[in-house]
Amino acid sequence: MLPDFLVPFKHYQETVVVDAVDDRIMPDSSDDRPSAQTVLRWKRWLFMNANDIDGHLKSIGYRELNFTEELLRSDISLLSELRKRIPEGWLKEILRFIYNSGARLLAFGI
């Protein structure tokens, strides 16, 4: 079982990944912050998984939370909505829903 503060296949805590992807911390090679290259990989990882994340969240919402079929067919991005509504913990919530449902994301951006 993976603790909430870690992200699968990442060497940094979830808060560092979120802050870097959301441009709240700047990469730096002189301390323990991630390098610019690492942040670019994380952003590419999120971009490559965005459609899968939305699909998983809509499917889980429909099956487990009684969301309507309209949401399944809508163009609403649940990823974008969660990033707006939970700015500090959106990634943790997304990963919890997806991995606890038995689904997986691509480990690396291509």
Break the chain down into helix, strand, coil percent, rounded to 5.
Answer: 55, 0, 40
2, pLDDT greater than 90? no
In single-letter form, the type of residue at position 20 comes to A
pTM for the model: 0.82
Place of tokens 């606890």: 100
Task: Tell me the per-residue pLDDT of 89-99, one tens digit each, with 9 for 90 and over.
Answer: 899 999 888 98
Backbone angles phi and psi of 13, in degrees to 5 = -65, 155
- pLDDT score at 106: 83
Residues 110 and 70 sit within 8 Å (Cβ to Cβ): no
Q: How far apart are CA 54 and CA 9, in angstroms?
A: 20
Residues 57 and 67 sit within 8 Å (Cβ to Cβ): no
Domain boundaries along the sequence of the chain: 14-100
Task: Tell me the per-residue pLDDT of 9-54, one tens digit each, with 9 for 90 and over.
Answer: 677 888 888 999 999 988 775 677 888 998 999 999 999 999 999 9
Q: How far apart are CA 42 and CA 14, in angstroms?
A: 11
